[in-house]
Amino acid sequence: MEIKDFLATKAKTIDQALDDYLPSEDKKPSRLHESMRYSTLIGGKRLRPVLTLTVAHYLFGVEEKKVMPAAIAIELIHNYSLIHDDLPCMDDDDYRRGELTNHKVFGDAISVLSGDALLTYAFELLTELDGDFAGEDIVRVSREISQSAGCQGMVGGQVVDILAEGAERKKDKKTDLEFIHRHKTGALLQASVRTGAILGGANKEELTALTIYAENIGLSFQIIDDILDVVGDEEKLGKEVGSDEGKNKVTFPSVYGLEESRDMAQKKIQSAKEAIGIFGKDAKLLVKLADYIIDRNY
């Protein structure tokens, strides 16, 4: 199966699970539930939950349905972060995935609360792992995901991203850039992979290999994102290109140029694939996912 077909198939499964798990719009407070469902269900690559399911199922043989609550929890956290990122006080974006951003439809207040609700609900979903996995592994996964999403992960990366805007921090750009992308984007991608591994019963060597894989695909993913903001197709991306430059953001192309950025992304993907060589043919889907990240155009 081609990797794009695999991703499309898994995305449909994940979309159905999201639809099932998210509160109904018919239930009070309906406006909040409508907002939560709007941003979460309008599409997306679903790369994070796909990574969790792929690692757990294809490397370690765990049934996907057992891991699904953790995979969905991670996707909810990702979507909460996008809602908040798009707010006027943050990136002030009008479009996401080709549709109006949440605050443009529901207003700032509901958007903030919608993001809060998705984040909180994610950790409620992790309790549904009880019964299928050992309590200590559920605690490990909860710690993994919370750390990746918090002040030492995604939120911390977002803070440095905001503070790094502007010419006054030119001397710190390379340091800031590394921190931003390893935390803002990379941390949750790493948690996605490690969650699948922990629930799959990975040993220390396997977990280390998958962590190196995740670190490298995470950084490459963000480098490609930065490149696409310069040269991408607006219609495919579903958002305005050139917004990073307009906001004077620290990005790989702005610091290293397009060609060097592409070369860095390619090297990271190669390192990712080498790291999971210990799994042999069982890792073929993860290898294809790594190649997809470097080759994608949206």
Cβ-contact 207, 280 below 8 angstroms: no
Residue with tokens 């922990």: 198
Q: Looking at residue 164, what is its pLDDT? A: 82
Cβ-contact 32, 113 below 8 angstroms: yes
The CA-based dihedral angle spanning residues 138, 44, 269, 264, taken in that order and rounded to the nearest 10 degrees:
-120
The residue extents of the domains of the chain are 3-295
SS (H, E, C) 48-78: HHHHHHHHHHHHCCCCHHHHHHHHHHHHHHH
With a cut of 50, list the residues of the chain below it in pLDDT: 167, 169, 236-237
CATH superfamily for domain 3-295 = Farnesyl Diphosphate Synthase (1.10.600.10)
Q: Looking at residue 298, what is its pLDDT? A: 65
Phi and psi at residue 130, to the nearest 5°? -60, 130
Question: Distances from the Cα of 274 to the Cαs of 57, 117, 238, in angstroms?
Answer: 21, 39, 33
Q: Is the dihedral of CA 207, 189, 141, 145 positive or negative?
A: positive
Best CA proximity match to 286, nearest among 89, 274, 118, 84 = 274
Q: Looking at residue 271, what is its pLDDT? A: 98
Structure tokens at 207: 């977990």
Residues across the chain = 298
Please state whether the predicted TM-score (pTM) of the whole model is above 0.85: yes
Using a 10 angstrom Cβ sphere, with 0-12 exposed, 13-18 middle and 19 or more buried, the burial of residue 90 is: middle
Question: Could you give the 3-state DSSP secondary structure of residue 240?
Answer: coil
Question: Distances from the Cα of 275 to the Cαs of 61, 195, 198, 224, in angstroms?
Answer: 20, 17, 17, 20
First to last CA, the chain: 21
Cβ-contact 291, 224 below 8 angstroms: no
Best CA proximity match to 269, nearest among 241, 294, 298 = 294
204-231 vs 284-295: helix crossing angle, rounded to 10: 20
Q: Looking at residue 296, what is its pLDDT? A: 83
The CA-based dihedral angle spanning residues 85, 90, 92, 97, taken in that order and rounded to the nearest 10 degrees:
-10
Q: Looking at residue 105, what is its pLDDT? A: 98
Structure tokens at 212: 């190196």
